[in-house]
């Protein structure tokens, strides 16, 4: 089954407000195997509103709309949908009494305008709203269903759960959505596409979405079917083929974030970690400590922007900085070694680089970063030039640092095989 979501309200067409109800509604509909194929956001304008509903009614059997059920002249959803479905609006005495009662409870008299909220299109089912004055409406017409819900999330969510969901469950077919998410680090979007396209194009029944963000790519696989076993088997098969194609570049197969994966690896290996950061300015420490309970593996970190602090906090010899430069493979290694020894952690990470926009040179352009990982058996180092602005460079650098920790555990402290570690 396919559905559309229509969000009504001129405030949603300003630079300040987004329709967030649709995330909740999409998640709920997906659970039932219902796919959202379009979202439309329209203002409080009768003509445009009518057009949005009319078009959607032609396309899909289910529409969930939010907003425009208030008492004011601006609130046009009720009237528009009634007119479109050729239904008369009839005063519902029960709703009127309920609204009057709500105002009485607040010690106020019901303003005349609120009568509008008690008008119900002929044949519509009323969805009670114990958290507000605007009731919702459920309409059926030639096999199509339309739910009109109030805009405020704290009214919409319980109304969906208590009154829309049961109605949808009655209608639902055996078809459900099956979903897998893979996350990949250390690889560009095009290179990834080239490796996995020959695989996913063999499965036209599975929808593949590739989402690229700085330093990581998400691959979503979704399929809709009533045959759960077949779906799981197909998805397993694709995931296995992806694993062969992407090898150690896949860092998560269950939607876990990089931070969560690293937390899990450190815990499982009873390892601790510390960090000495220059250009990332605390971002690595912040990401490591964003996970609840991180104090069990993160002991501490230093942000040593100045050369003096690199020496005093991470024991980087001043002569080394002098001879090799603060942004160098050698200083990254010394930072990693120094912080690990000073803190007494299993692992130590050192990062030094030029996040920009200033500070670059021909030899060491903006984006140049050296990242080192020190462990009892030695120290690994990677020198990279990241693209993008200050924020992107810092994020990339923190992501690669975390990925080096991941690969360290994946290969038991050894080096990854050449193919797998090759960045493409």
Residues 145-164 that bind its own copies (CB under 8 A): 154
Q: What residues between 192 and 211 interact with its own copies by CB under 8 A?
A: 193-194, 197, 201, 207-211
Give the residue carrying structure tokens 């199509």: 144
Output 48 or 410, the one with its CB closest to its own copies. 48
Q: Which structure tokens are listed for 325?
A: 């430069």
Q: Does 234 bind its own copies (CB under 8 A)?
A: no
To the nearest whole angstrom, how small is the minimum distance from the Cβ of residue 23 to its own copies? 5
> Pick from 148, 283, 371, 400: which binds its own copies (CB under 8 A)?
283
- Kindly write out the interface string for residues 287-306 of this chain, putting x where it contacts its own copies by CB under 8 A and - elsewhere: -xxx-xxxx--xxxxxxxxx
65: number of CA atoms within 13 Å, CB side? 31
Q: Which structure tokens are listed for 418?
A: 């050449």
> Pick from 206, 250, 321, 343: which binds its own copies (CB under 8 A)?
343
Output 39 or 88, the one with its CB closest to its own copies. 39
> Pick from 45, 225, 264, 329: which binds its own copies (CB under 8 A)?
45
Q: Does 325 bind its own copies (CB under 8 A)?
A: no
- Kindly write out the interface string for residues 362-401 of this chain, putting x where it contacts its own copies by CB under 8 A and - elsewhere: -----------------------x-xxxxxx-x-------
Rounded to whole angstroms, the Cα distance separating 136 from 187 reads 48
Rounded to whole angstroms, the Cα distance separating 305 from 339 reads 14
Cβ-based burial of 213 (10 A; exposed 0-12, middle 13-18, buried ≥19): exposed
Q: Identify the CA nearest to 50 among candidates 17, 83, 73.
A: 83
Q: Does 415 bind its own copies (CB under 8 A)?
A: no
Contact by Cβ (8 Å): 64, 149: yes
Contact by Cβ (8 Å): 403, 186: yes
Q: What residues between 89 and 108 interact with its own copies by CB under 8 A?
A: 106, 108
Contact by Cβ (8 Å): 172, 32: yes
Q: What residues between 175 and 194 interact with its own copies by CB under 8 A?
A: 188-191, 193-194
> Pick from 282, 360, 383, 420: which binds its own copies (CB under 8 A)?
282
Contact by Cβ (8 Å): 396, 215: yes
Contacts of residue 287, Cβ cutoff 8 Å, sequence gap at least 6 = 258, 259, 398, 402
Output 307 or 413, the one with its CB closest to its own copies. 307
Q: 3-class DSSP state for residue 16?
A: coil
Q: Does 250 bind its own copies (CB under 8 A)?
A: no
Rounded to whole angstroms, the Cα distance separating 14 from 19 reads 11
Q: Which stretch binds its own copies (CB under 8 A): 29-37, 86-94, 263-271, 372-380?
A: 29-37
Q: Does 15 bind its own copies (CB under 8 A)?
A: yes
Task: Report residue 355: phi and psi, to 5°.
Answer: -80, -20
Output 236 or 389, the one with its CB closest to its own copies. 389
- Max intra-chain CA distance, the chain: 87
Number of chain residues interacting with its own copies (CB under 8 A): 103
């Amino acid at each position: 089954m396919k559905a559309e979501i229509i969000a009504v309200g001129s405030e949603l067409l300003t630079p300040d407000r987004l329709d967030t109800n649709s995330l909740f509604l999409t998640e709920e509909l997906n659970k039932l195997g219902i796919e959202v194929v379009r979202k439309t956001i329209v203002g409080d304008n009768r003509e445009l509103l009518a057009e949005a509903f009319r078009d959607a009614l032609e396309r899909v059997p289910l529409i969930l709309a939010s907003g425009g059920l208030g008492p004011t002249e601006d609130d046009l959803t009720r009237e528009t949908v009634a007119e479109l479905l050729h239904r008369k609006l009839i005063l519902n005495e029960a709703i009127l009494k309920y609204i009057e009662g709500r105002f009485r409870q607040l010690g106020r008299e019901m303003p005349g305008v609120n009568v509008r909220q008690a008008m119900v299109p002929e044949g519509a089912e009323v969805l009670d709203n114990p958290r507000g004055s605007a009731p919702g409406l459920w309409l059926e017409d030639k096999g199509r269903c339309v739910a009109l819900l109030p805009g405020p999330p704290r009214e919409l969510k319980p109304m969906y759960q208590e009154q829309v969901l049961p109605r949808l469950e009655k209608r639902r077919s055996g078809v459900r959505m099956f979903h897998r998410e893979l996350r990949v680090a250390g690889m560009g979007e095009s290179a990834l596409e080239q490796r996995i396209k020959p695989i996913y194009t063999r499965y036209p029944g599975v929808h593949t979405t590739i989402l690229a963000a700085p330093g990581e790519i998400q691959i979503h696989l979704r399929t809709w079917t009533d045959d759960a076993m077949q779906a799981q088997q197909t998805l397993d098969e694709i995931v296995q083929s992806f694993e062969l194609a992407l090898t150690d570049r896949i860092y998560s197969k269950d939607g876990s974030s990089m931070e969560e994966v690293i937390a899990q690896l450190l815990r499982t290996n009873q390892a601790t970690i510390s960090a000495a950061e220059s250009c990332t300015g605390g971002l690595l420490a912040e990401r490591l400590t964003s996970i609840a309970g991180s104090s069990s593996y993160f002991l501490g970190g230093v942000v040593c922007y100045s050369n003096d602090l690199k020496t005093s906090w991470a024991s980087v010899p001043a002569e080394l900085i002098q001879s090799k430069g603060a942004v160098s493979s050698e200083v990254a290694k010394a930072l990693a070694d120094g912080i690990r020894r000073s803190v007494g952690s299993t692992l130590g990470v050192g990062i030094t680089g030029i996040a920009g926009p200033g500070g670059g040179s021909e030899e060491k352009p903006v984006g140049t970063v050296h990242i080192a990982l020190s462990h009892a058996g030695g120290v690994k180092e990677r020198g990279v030039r990241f693209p993008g602005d200050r924020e992107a460079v810092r994020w990339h650098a923190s992501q690669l640092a975390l990925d080096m920790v991941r690969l360290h555990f994946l290969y038991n402290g050894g080096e990854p095989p050449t193919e797998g570690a090759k960045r493409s």
